[in-house]
A and B are shown apart, each in its own frame.
Chain A
Amino acid sequence: MNKEIEREIKHLKDKVKKLKDRVLKGNKKEAKKIEPLIEEMSSKIQELERLNAQVKPIDIVRLARHPKRPTTLDYIRLMIRSFMELHGDRRFADDQAIIGGIGFLNDIPVTIIGHQKGRNTKDNLKRHFGMAHPEGYRKALRLMEQAERFGRPIINLIDTPGAYPGIGAEERGQAEAIAYNLYKMSGLKVPIVSVITGEGGSGGALALGVADRVYMLSNTIYSVISPEGCAAILWKDATKSEEAAESLKLTANDLLKFRVIDDIIEEPGEGAHTDHEETAKRLKSKLLETIKELLTKDLSTLLRERYEKFRKIGVFVEDMPEDPLVKM
């Protein structure tokens, strides 16, 4: 997995072999000196091999971006009955980087929305690799407000490198579109469940991520910046993305530990790309269980808990004022 570690292991193994040969040929006195050395090296090899076998953050980044992963349309096909795609933001365009519509999750009518990456180059050009323009976020919000009107729970599937960086996107208010989604979603009067199904890239991901429950599939990432972007800023070297992926703490395990997400949905086998059906099945059962639970909450509890959920995220210290009589 790691070339440097592999080189080191090989180097140590060669050394051990040479030492063992000497023991076989040499006298007993020398053997006594050499044997502890061999032992020490063997345990070092074992340790390195264990380290090498560990899945590293950059490997999860690669899995999260795997081109064969199921996309939002795949999940919809495998989970939602009578799905109807709805189009457009009623203001400017129909952004193909985010799709959405209505259908049934078993017997529950739902609105389901998600980033849509292309399945091939041509499709990806149309869908901007799942990077939405403002009209994508505005379409998503239109569909969410429609769901609110009809008391339908909302499912958001997140899989985007980030919001599209372009002239038109900025001219039409990329920042405002994202901000307004965060603002509105915090008060939408229906249950919302968001799941990171691939890449959770920054503001473009969060624009579908203000929810009552946030889950991640096990081989996905959620981050404030891409490892490449981080490396470019920090080390002025985009190729140091492996270190950046490590530093950013962007895996599902990290985020569960930070309590930024509520649970992890385990992917089957080597990852979601190896078994679409099974992945969708696991996702569906988690969604059903969650939505059924959320549907029993009264509105004020639902909204208060959603506010609290994001309100409490943050790490800091607060010193007491030196003189307790001084008004802070």
Chain B
Amino acid sequence: MSKLFIKCPRCKTTHFISFLKHSAYVCSKCGYHFRLDAPKRIKMLCDKGSFREFDKNIKSLDPLAFPKYKEKLEASMNKTGLKEAVVTGECKIGGFPTTFGVMDPRFIMASMGSVVGEKITRMLEFSYENYLPAVLVISSGGARMQEGIYSLMQMAKTSAAVKRLNDRGLPLFTVLADPTTGGVTASFAMLGDVIIAEPDALIGFAGPRVIQQTIGQKLPKGFQKSEFLLEHGMLDMVVPRKNLKAVLTSLLEIHSTRPYENLRGER
């Protein structure tokens, strides 16, 4: 791929990369939402200069001595300049303070190993301690196979942290981008108090190929896409990328006061 141009994977229109950022990395012809890395998301959603990163020095180990895992980690770190597949911190969105986490699909498909689970849990715990809402922008291939059972257990760890946050009357807002699958969908992604998805994102538990192999028939059109999930009651809204910041701002504003204090013991 040349560095100046990029082809839309859906309608094959060629775009100047430098122009694409003016349209929030959405194809001007067909509306395809290009996958975004974490730094771009932060720039797009957090108020300028407000993002303060947490835990940027946590790195994965190779607890199972899994074939080729170390090399994979090394390559991902070199490619992205990140230490792991999620960036977490606190920031302001539309003037409202919140914790903010974003997954980076360039890093082993933003799969969840110990570090991703730990950073997200710490971020949720920071919200809990400091009475802040939490926003997570998610895209992930699911649990990180190379960390075996440790990665599976991150699902329990993060889900318990969301529960604690909610018990204190604090909200989690999740934004699901393409793709959100497997163990990440089956934990914090689907636990948002409000769940937003970008248009046409693949969202599901089992991958389409696995399902097709199991049932041996063709999958319906639009299966496991955002609009399909909205229709089946699994999401609150599908929001085009250019409106995302405005929608998050509104959500944070509505949740910034409690007209009726029914959690005296907890708060």
Q: Write the residues of chain A forming the contact surface with B, with a CB cutoff of 8 angstroms.
A: 163, 165-167, 169-176, 178-180, 182-184, 186-187, 202-203, 206, 209-210, 222-225, 229-230, 233-234, 247-250, 254-255, 258, 260, 306-307, 310-311, 313-321, 327-328
Establish whether residues A163 and B206, one from each chain, have CB atoms under 8 Å apart when the complex forms.
Answer: yes
Q: A174-B206, A179-B159, A179-B188 are in contact. Are A316 and B215 (CB under 8 A)?
A: no
Bound-complex Cα distance A45 to B220 (A): 58
Q: Is there contact, CB below 8 Å, between B204 and A319?
A: no
If A180-B191, A187-B167 touch, whether A206 touches B150 (CB-CB below 8 Å) is no
Chain A residues contacting B127 (CB-CB under 8 Å) are none
The chain B residue sitting closest to A171, CB to CB, is B232
B80 within 8 A of A: no
- Smallest Cβ-Cβ distance to B183: which chain A residue: A203
Which residues of B have CB within 8 Å of A183? Answer: 159-160, 162-163, 191
Name the distance in Å between B59's Cβ and chain A's nearest Cβ.
5
Q: A313-B157, A314-B118 are in contact. Are A319 and B149 (CB under 8 A)?
A: no
CA distance A316 to B114 in the complex (A): 7
Cβ contact within 8 Å between B214 and A258? no
* Residues of A with C-beta under 8 A to B259: none
Q: Which residue of B lies closest to A202 (CB)?
A: B152
Interface of chain B, helix or strand or loop or mixed?
helix
Question: A249's contact among B148, B153, B163, by CB below 8 Å, is which?
Answer: B148
4 closest Cβ pairs, A-B complex:
A165-B206, A314-B114, A186-B160, A182-B159
User: Which residues of the other chain, B, contact A316 by a CB distance below 8 angstroms?
Assistant: 58-61, 114-115, 118
Inter-chain contacts of B164 with A (CB < 8 A) = 307
Q: How many residues of B contact A (CB 8 A)?
A: 64
Nearest-CB residue, chain A, relative to B154? A314
Q: Which residues of A contact B220 (CB under 8 A)?
A: 167
- Say yes or no for B16: interface residue by CB 8 A criterion: no
Q: Is the CB of A206 within 8 A of B60?
A: no
In the assembled complex, which residues on chain A have CB atoms less than 8 Å from the CB atom of B182? 203
The answer to whether A258 touches B150, judged by C-beta atoms less than 8 angstroms apart, is yes
In the complex, chain B residues whose CB is within 8 Å of the CB of A249:
64, 148-149
Which residue of B53, B66, B144 is within 8 Å of A247 (Cβ)?
B66
Interface presence of B224 (CB below 8 A): yes
Kindly list chain A residues whose C-beta atoms are within 8 Å of the C-beta of B56. 328
Q: B131: shortest Cβ distance to chain A, in Å?
A: 19
Smallest CB-CB separation from A261: which chain B residue?
B149
Closest residue of chain A to B220, judged by CB? A167
Whether B262 sits at the interface, judged by CB under 8 Å, is no
| Also in contact, A165 and B145, with CB within 8 A (given A172-B232, A187-B163) | no
Decide if B151 is an interface residue (CB 8 Å cutoff).
yes
Please state if A311 and B157 are interface contacts (CB–CB under 8 Å): yes
Interface residue from A176, A180, A224, A321 paired with B148 (Cβ < 8 Å): A224
